[in-house]
Structure 1
Amino acid sequence: MPKTAPFTEDTLSSYEGQTVTRVEIAGRPDLQFSQIAPLITQHAGESFSADKVQQSLQAVKTSGKYKEVQLQLTPDASGVRVIFVLEPAVYIGLFEFPGAQNFAYSRLVQVSNYEAQAPYNAEDVKREQQSLLRFFRQEGYFQATVDPEVKFDADHDVANIVFHVDLKHRAEFGSIVIAGATPEDSAKLNHDLQTFWARLHGAAIRPGKRYNHSTINHANNYLEKRLAKQGNLAADVKLSGAEYHASTNRADIHFIVKTGPVIDVEIKGAHLFSWTRKNLLPMYQGIPVDDESIEEGRQALLSYFQSKGYFNAAVGVQSNAGTQRDTVVYTINKEKKHRVPDVQFIGNKNIAEDELRSHVPLQESHFLSHGKYSEKLVRDSVKNIKALYQSEGFSDVAVVSKVKNDGGDITVSFHITEGQRDIVRSLTIDGADTFPRKDFAPDGLKLAEGKPYSQSLVESDRASIIAHYLQAGYLTSSFRQTATVASKNDRHHIDVVYHIYEGPRVYTGAIETLGRSHTQQRLIDEDVNTLHADAPMTESALLTAESRLYNHTGIFDWAEVDPKRSITTQTKEDAVVKVHEAQLNQITYGLGFEVINRGGSIPSGTVSVPGLPPVGLPSNFQTSQQTFYGPRGSFQYTRNNMRGKGESFSFTAFAGRLDQRGAMYYIDPNFFWSKWRSTFSISYEKNEENPIYSSQQELGSYQVQRTIDHAKADTVFFRYSFSKTNLTRVLIQDLVLPQDRNVRLSTLAANFTRDTRDNPLDAHKGMLDTVEIDVNDTHLGSSVDFAKLTAQAAYYKSSVRKIVFANSLRIGLAQPYSNSRVPLSEAFFTGGGNTLRGYPLDGAGPQRSVEVCPNGQPGCNQFINVPSGGNELLLVNSEARIPLPFKKGLGLVVFYDGGNVFPNVGFHNFTSLYSNNVGLGLRYNTPVGPVRVDIGHNLNPVQGINSTQYFVSIGQAF
């Protein structure tokens, strides 16, 4: 149902002659339509008449029984609904669906066609009831009942609709009935839906199995694919319905199948994969074989092979239509593969070539591609260039393409005759009574007298003008532009009029909350503090408030913030905050049985000991193998919105034969109703899965953090953590030295981070600055005394041709005191794809030699290097990220990495240990981040380590 809006004569006349499907009243639950029917001259079933509607509206108003009457027109499938909203009206508040917890609240709101700002209408409630019933039956609940109950909230003048749902039992699948096919085909298709392959596709409909709507959809598609494989390319399969039998609680599924003729499509002279055929040829998309579809397929094949570089390709076709079988043969002569060495633009003076190229789908060849060319792409390019020029005011532009075939290589030139550019002779603003012209944009309007006329400039002005009005509280403001030529003899001077409908300036009245039950009102008030009583009601304030409500995890699963009524002529309106609270408690669990082999060859070739980077093991390294078996189980409990403050508590546990772990988390997003966020966590794990060692780890931490600037770029946190790590059953004795097998850390930490990057995954501009100080002291329960500083400063800048220069400096210092030491788990390590790319992972810095023998028996004289870490870290990284013009999303990177890990704090042996690394890389943008391939070379090679390293990963290096 569209929102109520003021109707002009033009608006009403646009509905003239359409069928009136219903005439209704809304807003007054105490009235029936029959009470005002004598006043209405526009009746259902008649053609819409603006005069009759206006007469009816006036008659209701002059009856004197109602404070105000608003007209609302709703387009319908068969015509238009006419609704008279009687004021003071009761508006729809919230929907509730008790008994339908199996479905997400947001889904039920969508199904029931919930409309914000809608006046109460008894007829709408009936339609919403029927929509819910159809949905539940579609999902297999054929005996479901929905009983609406209207609860009037006199305090807020709203009607909350409670749809009491009783789903009863979900049905099971019965038999499959297929009509429209021969008995033999029906039996075969029926069998196809019960095979193992149908199960793999989620399309198996088997009697006695739970009814599932998605299974039916999959079955529909599966049958069409099966028929297509038999040559029935134009086959059509439709679900005609489900016949429910209450006595057995089963539903028979009925399909109507139109097999159509068998169509043989043969491709000669070239190979096409099956999925390419389906994308190109209309016959595979359910379109019958006729002259038009055959020619469409020929053109599609021609364009496809031309786009692959076969610019001289020719496609012939022969067809034969029979009563039971149609045959279509496409003969393709690809000729030689050629290139597009050049795409030229001739005659362009006012639009740069780079801008033109961005609108042209043709592509020049390069070392990875022959380029892109086809006759269709040439036609599309001409259209795009003309549209671009016309949008910039060149109404008489002419574009002619010329294709030169030089020995098979294609050169395409676009000859542009720009013509005279349209100039604004006058600019008039009509209807702007509130704001002076200079206030519409920070730098004034883009369009002005004496300047070129451009539709893009008009759109820019429109956006800034409407934004200005919306920010001032004019929620129904609108903009329309008219442009007329000065005269027949002067077609290139334009008189422009900006027509502005301001509408009323709306101020916020009361701010009301609906749907709150467990949540404290203070939490909601802080989220919607962009709205203020008696202040202008702005669109940004409404959207920001709604967004903040959704930002809470586990509190609300649906929220809306809107004016109570659609804005028509009123200048003050209440804001209504509608929320639906998510489920407070969630429990998940799982049980199983496991068989684990501990030992044998280490499959990954590496071992990762707690506190030590992953270490490579010899390929022939083996341990004694043992098999363990027993039950396993997992459990998770989460309590959301504790105390109504948005706090959350969760407990997770896992128990297996060789691994047991548990963790508890408590998060308070509003610590004592402040801007601080606090997190408390405890975890424990005992792990005996690795054949080389067993570990027992305990960790507890408490952290408070907050942003300290309006833009939320600056974050500070303070943390206390206690950890205890015990390693036992260490097979390789020297892998972890005795003093590092039992370590307690009691850490006080403080961190400050400033992050102004535009995209943390792939920054093009901005900065990242972070510094953290950690202190461990035996007086706090630590087994060692040391302080640690880590800091990073990264800077990103986009330059000419979108080249990004990225630079990073990382520093780390760890200093023991009181004759103590820095444990291995807190030392610095470097080397690898994110630090020094001339080294393997953690291969830089101090190393020590460790004897690795099968089953831990010494004396085999087989050694590996193990990183021993250092107390000082210096890393300098610099990259130039260069986008490659011939492939969107592909980029080249030139980088330098310098620095190393140093054994002790200071400048001892700094020069001799400092390492320089250079290299090249490729980046390809994907939705999850750039795919990264880097080749790094160490200019200061180390004996025993290859000076050239290769890395493949996701995301930028820094």
Structure 2
Amino acid sequence: MSFFNGKWPAEATLKVRPAAIRALTCVLSLFLGVATSVAAQDAVTSPSAGTPAPSIAPAILPGPSASPAPPTSSSTPSVPPVTDATKSDASPAVEEADTDAASTLWSYRGVKVDAVQFEGVSFDPKDRILEMFAVHEGKPLDPIQVRAMIRRLYATGLYRSIDVRAVKHGSGAGQTVTLIFGGTPRLFVGRVTILGVKTERLSSLLEYSTQLQPGTAFTAAMVATGEQGIRQTLSTNGYYEPVIQSKTRTDEIGKQMDVTYTVTLGPQARVGGVALTGTDIGMTPEEFRKRGKLKYKSKVTRDTTSNALTKLRARYQKQDHLEATVALEKQEYAAPRKQLDYTFGVNQGPTVKVIIKGTKISSARQKKLLPIYEESAVDNDLLNEGAHNIREFLQRQGYFDADVNPHVDGVGTPAQTVVFDVTEGKKYRVIAVDITGNKYFDTDTMRERMQVVKADAYVRNGRYSQSLLENDVASIQSIYRANGFSRVKVSTETLQAGTKGKLALMRVNVKIDEGEQQKFGSAKLSGVDPSREKEVRAMMNTVEDQPFSLSTVSGDRDSILQYYLAKGFEQAKVEVKQALRADDPTQTDLTFVITEGDEVFVDKILLSGVNHTRKSVVNRPLLLKPGDPLDQSALVEMQRKYYDLALFNEANVAVQNPEGTADRKNVLVQLTEARRWDVTYGAGFEAQTGTPQTNCRAQESIGGTTCTPEGRAGASFRVSADVTRINLRGTDNSLQLHTTYGLLERVASITLNTPHLLNHTNFTGSLTGGYSNVQNISTFKASTLQAIARVTQKIPRADTLIYDFTYRRVSVDQDSLQVTANLIPLLSQPVRVGGPGITWYHDTRGPSPLDAQKGMYLSVQDFFSNSKFGSQVNFNRTDIAYSTYYTWGKRRKYTFARNTRFGFEVASGANPNAGTSACAGILLTTNASCNPIPLPERLYAGGASSHRGFAVNSAGPRDLTTGYPVGGSAVFINSFELRLPPPVLPIVGDSVSFVLFHDMGNAFLHINDIWPSFGRFKQPNRQTCFDVTPSQTGTCDFAYFSHAVGVGARYNTPVGPIRVDFSYNINPPVYPIIDDYSLPQANHAVGHGSHFQFFFSIGQSF
């Protein structure tokens, strides 16, 4: 060890190594000194606040005092001891310390320190540690302070080892020394990459199995440990011969180590031999393989063993071997065969029959109630638990005095019987649940929190059990204590209340003794910097003399802590102390004791994993920049924003050196780009009455009455496939090809999506072009070739504006068209439609738009088609929908939903249908088929989300010779729906609810027909619709309000309710059928709209 070189006049250096520590322990323990070096092993991570620090190494400088060094606080980082067992594998050869070096450095005690310098680890000029160490300049050297300085440096987490040098200048009275703190900088885990694995799921599993957490301290041993984790994970997935190569790359700028594992999976193991041990297996090895899905030479996956055990245990249970044991004893990989051989320990045990005497409980319910099925064992604890569950079940059915006694017959024999003797007792009905003594909370508030309820239309006998009542007592006590009633007492009693037929009546009394309410006293802040006290106080909701609430206290504590975390005080702590006032025990004084800690700032943003995405897109979610306070909430928000881009499979935002006390830290943003090509597909169907029929005109040649204007009952199936390309040209734009094929719908479209139009977060854009061939009405099949340019503006809170320009070519298949014969050539002509449109909607529905219970929805759409935009027809269409939702009921929630739709179209210019015989004279305005607006562009009504008294799009005007619906120029539909609380039903429980609804309205030929129709309950001039002679064509009128009532069922699922609706149309229309194209010859008839309709779909009707 050298103390002098040509750089300094005199230099004293002490590097303490593990061997030196051992050699000097006996000598140095006699003296007071200061630790001057740390050779910390790699396995020791940087200590943090709240973590016990390693003990001080016995490498202290000898001093004149024999008194021991003062003990260090557990929260203060210190130098860890080094032994042979903890030597760092990266440490150089051990150098023996020279005791003269210690003496020389101690000899400088009291010498003026002219400068403190750092080597090996660099600090920002604004770093607090430089200011802290600078105070020692110009003061006498104090070895005790040197030790504290080393501790401080080590606590930053930036050092792997530390040494200190003292360099002397001058002599005599003018002698000074320069303290130089040198050391080896610590590296941190950077990006962990798995190469060679094509499956994203497996790649993510392997990355997780390395246990390398980005930002934490790195050691060389971690690489090998990570490789072991990868091998273990691969073996569980069937890969026993992987080749794994690891490579590290040092990022000097980011002070981190990137680790890359290149994995060659090798062959996937196949199922080999299956050996069974046990004296009572109960099945042949072949059957064991079959039941466990252990087919010879099938691929081994991570689920092979668990699935086999599950299936085999289920098989034994089905055969009443409830105590059967099946366990994997051993599995060995046979490399020459590339197979995995299994050895299972199997014992089927005795047959165990379960008999419940005295009541009827289904086998499916038994398996839910009795834990012996789940645990595959029979013991007293499980039997007692099963008896308790049966008793609880019966009490909920009204048998509140039920008694259950279990016992086992035939113990020790091959056939055992578990018997539950049940005495049901009387069946009770809870006629009242009385709550008394509550003053602070009203009774309805108490009832909302209780599970014990009296009988009503939804729970016929009420709900009661001893455990439910105990839970209710705890719930009531909890709400009172949360509001300051710490001495609240709740007592209950159940009383007989006579009988009613075979039922015994019962009352439940709940008595509440509230006690005195605590109130807030003073709220003090301790430990807050005066510059921040005003901001902290503004976040608090604690107000003196207000009712004491633990939730308010907890909320204030969390708000204060969140404030400090957002300001970069990552070690901040908030404790709340409570004290009753001596002069007023009902007042509780609070003191928020805040430990701020040091403010931490962002040093660098280290971004990785970006290969195709543009820098501008990647930088958009960044909420922090170098020099900003390290806001913890911003880290979470950044991660969310990266996922919202839909460009990355994984977004990991972490802090480097999280446990260190350095006041400047790097932020790691590690991204994994998603596959740019994606294919999705699916299938579905809708079932309903009035399903449109196809190819009706072809029936004329083959005969048969298979088509009607009302459609037919049936299901419409469809399949869909989408191909999506994301990360288009390095942006968050995407290109999607959408296709649908079904009996009634064939669609192909391609869409370019721009989620952030012109870098605005509130604007999205799309450009769509495609072709569709759809028959959503029995009258015709329409094909559309169109292009749409659309801009969507999201206004904060609940409003959205959509601006679009549509240009399309619509045409009607002549062979599908069911209208007056001489109008077929005109109405089947292709028509160009084009123009701008705007949509505004306001949506406050909650909790979900699919199942709204409150709020409102208002949408206004307007489309303007004009020849100035290249359109061949001129019209303006306005469509307005307004829905509201109201919920009431304290315990049973009733929802009243209402929806109104009003739409109209105004055409301009010449009517292209004028001049035909079907539109001659007054027929031009009375025959709906003569409407100048093309058939696919008209307004329609009817169906599951419209007027449920009609089949899909079959409401309103009809062709006066065929009777098929042809739409109109106006529509008005109003729906009322009462959504009832779910009753408790067998099997499904409370998953099914019911609705009652009333729909009224119609589609109309002219907008002026709407208002007079409000008072028309019957179809006007109804008798004329029975005249089917061609001379009377044009006299049947459809301008009236049709009314339908019905009932529906809703089955709740995670994606929304599955809906079934049955409706009855009180006043359906009648219409003449003069021409029936499905028949080979004329057969005049009178058509009648169906009274009954049925719909099956997903989601509420509106």
TM-score (norm 1): 0.79
Partner of 2:450: 360
Counterpart residue identity of residue 357, structure 1 = R
Task: Confirm or deny: 8 A CA contact 2:636 2:653 kept in the other structure.
Answer: yes
Which of 995, 1005, 1025 pairs up with 1:903?
A: 1005
More strand by share: 1
The one-letter code matched in structure 2 to 1:149 is K
3-state SS in 1 of match to 2:430: coil
Aligned-pair CA distance for 1:208: 1.7
Counterpart in the other structure of 1:96: 193
Q: d(CA) in 1 for partners of 2:410 and 2:1002?
A: 76
Q: Which residue matches 2:614?
A: 520
1:761–1:955: 8 Å Cα contact kept in structure 2? yes
Alpha-carbon contact 1:919-1:934 (below 8 Å) kept: no
- Preserved contact between residue 678 and residue 725 of structure 2 (Cα < 8 Å): yes
Shift in CA distance, 621/722, structure 1 to aligned 2, threshold 3 Å: same
Structure-1 residue corresponding to 2:650: 558
The correspondence of residues 640-659 of structure 1 with structure 2, limited to 5 A, is 640-651=726-737
Q: How many residues align?
A: 872
Pairing partner for 2:555 from 445, 455, 460:
460
- The separation in 1 between residues aligned to 2:726 and 2:224, in whole angstroms, is 35
C-alpha change, 1:737 and 1:118, in structure 2 (3 Å) is: farther
Aligned residue identity for 1:185: I
Q: 1:557 offset after TM fit, Å?
A: 0.7
Q: 1:343 Cα shift?
A: 1.5
- Cα deviation for residue 718 of structure 1 reads 1.7
Q: Which runs of 5+ in 2 are unaligned?
A: 1-42, 55-71, 98-142, 161-182, 698-702, 709-718, 913-931, 1017-1038, 1071-1087
Pairs within 5 Å for 1:917-956: 917=1043, 925-930=1052-1057, 942-943=1069-1070, 944-945=1088-1089, 953-956=1097-1100
> Cα distance 1:291–1:925, how it changes in 2: closer, same or farther (>3 A)?
closer
SS in structure 1 at match of 2:830: strand
Q: Which amino acid aligns with 1:647?
A: N
Q: Which residue of 2 aligns with 1:498?
A: 592
Question: Contact 2:477 / 2:488 at 8 angstroms: preserved in 1?
Answer: yes
Match among 939, 942, 946 for residue 828 of structure 1: 939
Shift of 1:840: 4.6
Q: Distance in 1 between matches of 2:486 and 2:743?
A: 78
Q: Counterpart of 2:268?
A: 170
Segment drifting more, 673-682 vs 885-894: 885-894
Partner of 1:48: none
Cα contact 2:835–2:871 (8 A) shared by 1 = no
**How many angstroms apart in 1 are the aligned matches of 2:579 and 2:45?**
33
Higher relative contact order (CA 8 A, sep 6+): 2
1:106-154 CA deviation, whole Å, 9 max, x = no partner?
4443333342432223233322222221111111111112222112223
| Aligned amino acid, residue 561 of structure 1 | V
Task: Say which is worse superposed, 342-351 or 801-810, in terms of deviation.
Answer: 801-810
Q: 1:619 to 1:247 in 2, by over 3 A?
A: farther
Cα separation, partners in 2 of 1:303 and 1:817, compared to 1, 3 Å: same
Give SS of 1:285's match: helix
| 1:788-807 correspondence runs (5 A) | 788-796=877-885, 801=890, 806-807=897-898
Q: What is the distance in 1 between the residues matched to 2:540 and 2:706?
A: 74
Residue number among 802, 823, 829 corresponding to 1:716 in the alignment: 802
| 1:877 CA drift (Å) | 4.5
The whole-number CA distance in structure 2 between the counterparts of 1:253 and 1:277 is 34
- Residue in 1 that maps onto 2:117: none
In structure 2, how many angstroms separate the alpha carbons of the residues matched to 1:504 and 1:751? 54
Task: Please show how residues 461-860 of structure 1 align to structure 2 within 5 Å.
Answer: 461-485=556-580, 494-528=588-622, 530-553=623-646, 555-566=647-658, 568-586=660-678, 606-607=691-692, 621=706, 638-651=724-737, 663-671=749-757, 673=759, 676-684=763-771, 697=783, 699-711=785-797, 713-727=799-813, 729-730=815-816, 737-757=824-844, 758=846, 759-777=848-866, 782-796=871-885, 801=890, 806-819=897-910, 820=912, 821-848=932-959
After TM superposition, list the pairs within 5 Å mapping 1:241-260 onto structure 2.
241-260=330-349
Alpha-carbon spacing, 1:431–1:355, altered in 2? closer, same or farther (3 Å): farther
Identity between Structure 1 and Structure 2 (%): 24
Aligned equivalents of 1:902 and 1:732: distance in 2?
19
Determine whether 1:309 maps to 2:398. yes
Kept in 1, the 8 Å contact 2:451–2:468? The answer is: yes
Contact 1:313–1:333 (CA<8 Å) still a contact in 2?
yes
Partner of 2:421: 331
Which of 471, 476, 494 aligns to 1:380? It is 471
User: In angstroms, what is the RMSD of aligned CA positions?
Assistant: 4.8
In structure 2, relative to structure 1, the CA distance for the partners of 1:684 and 1:611 (3 Å cut) is farther
Structure 1 unmatched ranges of 5 or more = 39-54, 73-85, 591-601, 613-617, 624-632, 852-864
Cα distance between partner residues in 1 of 2:430 and 2:616: 66
CA distance in 2: counterparts of 1:658 and 1:788, whole angstroms: 26
Change over 3 Å in CA distance of 1:635–1:322 after alignment to 2: closer
- Note the alpha carbon deviations across 1:224-266, whole angstroms, 9 max, x for none: 1122233331333333453211212111233333545543322
Cα 1:778–1:177, aligned 2, differ >3 Å: closer, same or farther?
A: farther
Please list the CA deviations of residues 744-789 of structure 1 after superposition, one character each: whole Å capped at 9, or x if unmatched. Answer: 3432232232334243223344443433332334575655333322
- Within 5 Å, give how 1:97-176 maps onto structure 2: 97-104=194-201, 105-176=203-274
| Structure number with larger C-alpha Rg | 2
Q: Which amino acid aligns with 2:619?
A: D
Q: How does 1:52-67 map to 2 (within 5 A)?
A: 62=150
Q: Does 1:915 align with 2:1041?
A: yes
| 2:525 corresponds to 1:429 | yes
Q: Deviations over 1:50-108 (max 9, x none)?
A: xxxxx9x9979739997944799xxxxxxxxxxxxx98433222221111112335444
For residues 684-743 of structure 1, give each alpha carbon's deviation from its aligned partner in whole angstroms, at most 9, with x where no partner exists: 4689x99x9997845342323232534473232323332444525449676994433343
Deviations 1:18-76 (A, max 9, x none): xxx99999xx99944997999xxxxxxxxxxxxxxxx9x9979739997944799xxxx
Q: Against the structure 1 CA distance between its residues 768 and 654, is the aligned structure 2 distance closer, same or farther, given a 3 Å change threshold?
A: closer
Contact 2:600 2:664 in 1 (8 A): yes
CA drift of 1:869 comes to 0.7
| 8 Å contact kept, 1:235–1:286 | no
1:860 is aligned to none
CA contact (8 A) 1:605 1:619 kept: no
2:477 aligned partner, one-letter code: K
User: In the superposition, relative to structure 1, how do residues 67 and 450 fare at CA in structure 2: closer, same or farther (>3 Å)?
Assistant: closer
- 1:953 Cα offset (Å): 4.6
CA drift at 1:522: 0.3
Residue pair 2:786, 2:809 contacting (<8 A) in 1 also? yes
Range moving further from structure 2, 772-781 or 933-942: 933-942
Q: Give, in whole Å, the separation in 2 of the partners of 1:589 and 1:471.
A: 44
Q: Report SS of the residue matched to 2:597.
A: coil
Quick check: 1:218 aligned with 2:313? no
- Cα deviation for residue 277 of structure 1 reads 1.9
Deviation at 1:559, TM superposition (A): 0.6
Write the deviation string for residues 395-428 of structure 1: whole angstroms up to 9, x where unpaired.
3322222111334222211222222333445543
* 1:189-238 Cα deviation digits (max 9, x unpaired): x333444xx4xxxx511112222332332211011112223333133333
Deviations 1:150-174 (A, max 9, x none): 1222333322211101012212211
SS in structure 2 at match of 1:354: helix
Matched with 1:868 is 966
Range moving further from structure 2, 798-807 or 114-123? 798-807
Measure the CA separation in 1 of the matches of 2:533 and 2:239. 60
Structure 1 contact 66–87 (Cα < 8 Å) conserved = no
The answer for the alignment partner of 2:6 in structure 1 is: none
CA change 1:810–1:698 in 2 (3 A) is: closer
Q: CA deviation at 1:476?
A: 3.8
Distance 2:405 2:155 in 1: 75
C-alpha distance in 1, partners of 2:855/2:537? 26
